[in-house]
Amino acid sequence: MPAAFGLYTHIQSNQRRSIALLIGLFFLVYLMTFAGALLGEALFRDLPIADLGEYEANPLGYTVRSAWQDLLLALPWVTAGTAAWIVIAYYYHQSLIDGITGANEVTREQEPRLYNVLENLCISRGIPMPKLKVMESDALNAFATGLNESQYSITVTTGLLKWLSDAELESVLGHELTHIRNGDVRMMMCAVVIVGVISFFGELVFRSMRGMRGRGKGAGLVILIALAIVALCWVLSIVIQFALSRKRELLADAGSVELTKNPDAMISALRKIEGNGELPDANSAIMELCVDNPREGFDNLFDTHPSVDSRVAALAQFAGGHDPGPIALPIQIKRTKAEEGEVQAPLQWNQDWESRTAKEIAEDADCARRVAATEYVEDGEALVKQLGGTVVYQEPGLFSTREEKIIVRIFGQEHSFESAYDMVQWIIREVVPKVMSRQAKPLSE
C-alpha cells in the first residue's frame, strides 16, 4: 500500500486546488451578482426617456447591457464583501462548527486516554499536535477542521470513545492526522465556504422575488435568464464538492496504516463506524468532513466518501489486513428529522379560534381555498398571517449548504419544518380543513 505521507504530489495538488477553489468562489459570486443585476433591471427598471428608443428596438440587449454596467459598479463592493466573508470563515469557522455540533475542547486531565493516543502518534512522526475536541453523541464518527497549523483540531464523538479499542481509536486519529498532513482539511473547508456563500446569495435572490412582477418588454425572459444563472451557480458549487476526489479517504486510510502499522485496527474501526456514523444535528457540510458519511443519494453518484466495503477491500488487498465483516453494535443512533419524517402535533383549538367573527371566518375560508388550489408557499404564509400567526425562516449558517428551518407560530402553538414544501403540505392537511369547518359552523359572530 502506498504511504500517504510520501504522496507529495497529492499534497501539492490539494494546495493548488485550494487556491483554485477560492478563485472559483469569486467567479461564482460575480455571476450571482450579474444575475441579481438582471433581476433588478427587470423588476425595478426606471427607464430614462432618452433611452426609450434604444429599449424599444432591443429590450433584451438593453437590459443585459444595463445589468453589465450595474455589475461593474458593484464589483468593488462585492469583492470586498466576499473577501470579508473569507476572513470571517478563516477566523471563526471552528466556533461556528462547534456551535452546530456542541463539541468542546478537552485536555489531558479530562480525556487522558484520547489525549495520550493522539500525542503518541504526533510524537512518533514529529507532527504538531492539533487541538482535541469531544462532542456528546452516541454516533461513531470523527472529523478534522482548520485552515492552518494553529487552527487544526480533531473532533471525536463520545460514542467513538466508548465502542472503539485503543488500537482502533489510534487508527481513526491517524486517519484524521493524514487528512491534515495531506491538505485535505484545508481544501474541504474552502469548498464548504463556497457552498455557504452561494447558497446565501441564492436564497437572497429567490426571496427578493416574492410578490414581484417584471416591468417592460422582455422582463419575463430576463427573469428566466437570471434564475438560470443562479441555478447554474448553485449546481457548480455543489459539483465542486463532489469533484474533490474520493481518493482522499483511501489515502487517509493508507496514511493511518503507515502511522500505526496496524491495518486490522483500521478495518475493524471502519466496520464499527459503518451504519453508526450519522450525526443528527450536523448539516451535510460537516458530514462531508467525517471519517464516514452515511448520507447517500442517487445510487452513490454524489457520495463524498467511498463505501466502507471498498475502503476495507483496499486495505485488505494492499496492506494485508483482515476483514471481519460487518460488526453489529448494540446501540441505536438517533435518526435525523428527515429520516423519521418529523410528525407535527395536531393543530388544537384555543381562545383565538373561538373569538373569530363571521366576517373573519369568511376571509379565512377564502385564503384557505386559495392555498388548497395553488399549494403556493406565499398563499400558505398568507393564510397563517390571516389567522394571526407568523412564519419565521431561520437562515442557514455559514457552513450550511441548503438546510434551513421554518417555524410556524399559530394560535399559541409552534411547529417547525425542514422545507417550505413540508410547511405548505401541513397547512393544507391541518389548517385548511379546520378553517373550512369553521365556515360551515361559525362559533361566534
3-class DSSP state of 407: strand
3-class DSSP state of 66: helix
Q: Which of 41, 111, 168, 176 is catalytic?
A: 176
What is the rounded CA–CA span in Å between residue 215 and residue 217? Answer: 7
What is the rounded CA–CA span in Å between residue 50 and residue 106? Answer: 68
Q: Give which of 55, 67, 25, 420 is closest to 226, Cα–Cα.
A: 67
Q: Give which of 415, 199, 183 is closest to 406, Cα–Cα.
A: 415
CB atoms within 10 A of CB 78: 19
For residue 160, the surrounding DSSP H or E stretch is helix 158-163
Classify strands 104-105 and 131-135 as parallel, antiparallel or unpaired: antiparallel
Residues 6+ apart with CB under 8 A from 102: 135, 136, 281
- Strand (E) positions, 205-247? none
Q: Provide the β-strand partners of residue 133.
A: 105, 155
Residue carrying C-alpha cell 450550511: 400
What is the rounded CA–CA span in Å between residue 337 and residue 140? Answer: 19
Q: Provide the β-strand partners of residue 415.
A: 408
What is the rounded CA–CA span in Å between residue 65 and residue 68? Answer: 5
What is the rounded CA–CA span in Å between residue 206 and residue 212? Answer: 11
Q: Provide the β-strand partners of residue 155.
A: 133, 143
Classify strands 405-410 and 390-394 as parallel, antiparallel or unpaired: antiparallel
What is each CA distance from 112 to 83, 120, 124, 166, in whole angstroms? 40, 12, 18, 12
What is the rounded CA–CA span in Å between residue 365 and residue 353? Answer: 13
Active site residue 176: yes
Q: Provide the β-strand partners of residue 440.
A: none
3-class DSSP state of 405: strand
**Active site amino acids:** 176
